[in-house]
Amino acid sequence: MAHVYSFFADGLEEIEALTPVDFLRRAGHAVTTVSIMGRRQIHGSNGIEILADALFEETDFADGDLFILPGGGTGTQNLSACAPLRALLKEKYDAGKHVAAICAAPSIFGSLGFLEGRDATVYPGMEDTLTGAAPQDVPAVTDGNVTTGHGPGAAIEFALELVRVLGGEEAREEIRKQVVFQH
Q: Of 127, 169, 167, 147, which Cα lies nearest the Cα of 70?
A: 147
The full length of the chain comes to: 183
Specify if 35 maps to a domain.
yes
**How far are the Cα atoms of 20, 60, 158 from residue 103, in angstroms, in the given order?**
13, 26, 10
Enumerate residues 6+ apart whose C-beta is below 8 A from 1.
27, 28, 29, 30, 166
Counting residues of the chain whose pLDDT is more than 70, the rounded percentage is 98
Specify if 22 maps to a domain.
yes
Dump pLDDT digits (tens) for 113-147: 999 999 999 999 999 999 999 999 999 999 999 99
Integer Cα distance of 151 and 14 in angstroms: 11
Specify if 143 maps to a domain.
no
pLDDT on residue 180: 75
Residue 30: is its pLDDT beyond 80?
A: yes
Integer Cα distance of 169 and 167 in angstroms: 7
Specify if 97 maps to a domain.
yes
Specify if 58 maps to a domain.
yes
Specify if 164 maps to a domain.
yes
pLDDT on residue 181: 63
pLDDT on residue 182: 60
How many structural domains comprise the chain? 1
CATH number at residue 11: 3.40.50.880
Q: What is the mean pLDDT of residues 152-164?
A: 97
Q: Which of 27, 103, 140, 141 is catalytic?
A: 103
Q: Is 82 a catalytic residue?
A: no
Specify if 125 maps to a domain.
no
- 29's enclosing H/E stretch is none
Residue 152: is its pLDDT beyond 60?
A: yes
Q: What is the mean pLDDT of residues 89-118?
A: 98
Residue 103: is its pLDDT beyond 80?
A: yes
pTM of the model: 0.96
Integer Cα distance of 97 and 136 in angstroms: 22
Residue numbers of the domain that contains 29: 3-103+155-172
Specify if 182 maps to a domain.
no
